[in-house]
Structure 1
């Protein structure tokens, strides 16, 4: 189910000069914000939670997910180079699964690790806040990668739709509209963070059992459907 050649090509595409600059920019900004906040306010659990929840989980993780998820396959479909990959003796579900693994790995490295560093800077991991939000970033990375990989498979405007979802639905509706929070990856990941960090600064409007089921369901269904859509791409000579 995992093809090293597909993985190598996908890593090369995602970590090219242009995308790498964007991928590094957001984590660097988070760490810079953490330093500034620590200097100005000192160690405070609630402030740390506000920064990590408000910027890392609500903004940085979904944006990096958009870059990695859509970039893992979208550009190849847009420019037609995907046909060369599909012509190889590699099963199409294997291609999707491999690209998902790469997208997850890239999203985790560029979101979870900076979240942990920022959390430790902010309050030295008081009440496990840094670890809790890091786990939330790891969990969210999986669901976002699957969701945005699907978008990259079904639409030529995947980046636009991904940004709308990340910035409008997740950051706006997912925060302000109670009913929409149940359908927010951000809230699902925060449910995990709340369990890890304990009661206090971290809260979620979704219960952990519901969040777990929805995280797994979105990941599995999005990956499966992306594989099905890739099957519909026909090459010359296909029956």
Structure 2
């Protein structure tokens, strides 16, 4: 990882309009948790709020962070100046992944744990489990969306469709999708930390292997895509 590229990528995340949205998402989640806690102690409301944070807020933060560290450079063409530097393309990808991952962890996984603790202070172990699930799922989401940003200029649209339909609608209807669901892999890890977290249904070993393979593969693809990148009209 290149420290300078990491700092520039982190600055790109917080220095653009997306930085404001990135802050609004976790604030909205924690605020919703506070409202639900004040209005009801019903388990359904707690599960719905945590589920919303895990299946929507977390991947949304990862998507915005991953596309913020790479997408704008592709859009305005400044990526060609970066690629002209004597720095390995895979080093560039890893540096940007590190910045996006840190953002996702702080603004995605951590607020999820805070929301869970606000909703249910009697089970701190569950909060740790959800935090672990958020970190694992957030890591995979970030790498996957970074690869997507390196592949297409429409990464935000594609990422939103993936999040809403594959991880959301289809994942809740078809049980077989869990084997290819990032959210299910994270939940499996969270369940291993604390049994109160719903299991993903894939087994811990499979979840860990799948998470590592997709994360490493996506990071490698992003670097390889940058290595062969050429600026072509409306790519």
TM bin, normalised by shorter chain, reads over 0.9
* Partners of 1:26 and 1:124 in 2: CA distance: 22
Q: How does 1:77-116 map to 2 (within 5 A)?
A: 77-116=74-113
* Partners of 1:154 and 1:119 in 2: CA distance: 35
Offset at 1:38?
1.1
Matched, 1:217 2:213: yes
* DSSP 3-state at the match of 2:229: coil
Answer whether contact 2:144 2:215 (CA < 8 A) is retained.
yes
Which position in structure 2 is the counterpart of 1:158?
Answer: 155
Answer whether contact 1:125 1:131 (CA < 8 A) is retained.
no
In the superposition, the TM-score normalised over structure 2's length comes to 0.93
Offset at 1:182?
1.3
Superposition CA RMSD, Å: 1.7
Unpaired runs of at least 5, structure 1 = none
* Partners of 1:16 and 1:176 in 2: CA distance: 39
Which position in structure 2 is the counterpart of 1:143?
Answer: 140
Which position in structure 1 is the counterpart of 2:49?
Answer: 51
* Partners of 1:222 and 1:143 in 2: CA distance: 9
Offset at 1:51?
2.0
Matched, 1:66 2:63: yes
* DSSP 3-state at the match of 2:180: coil
The CA deviation string for residues 89-110 of structure 1, in whole angstroms up to 9 with x for no partner, is 2111100010011110001110
Residues 66 and 164 (structure 1), Cα distance of their counterparts in 2 relative to 1, 3 Å cut: same
3-12 vs 156-165, which deviates more?
Answer: 3-12
Offset at 1:203?
2.8
Which position in structure 2 is the counterpart of 1:233?
Answer: 229
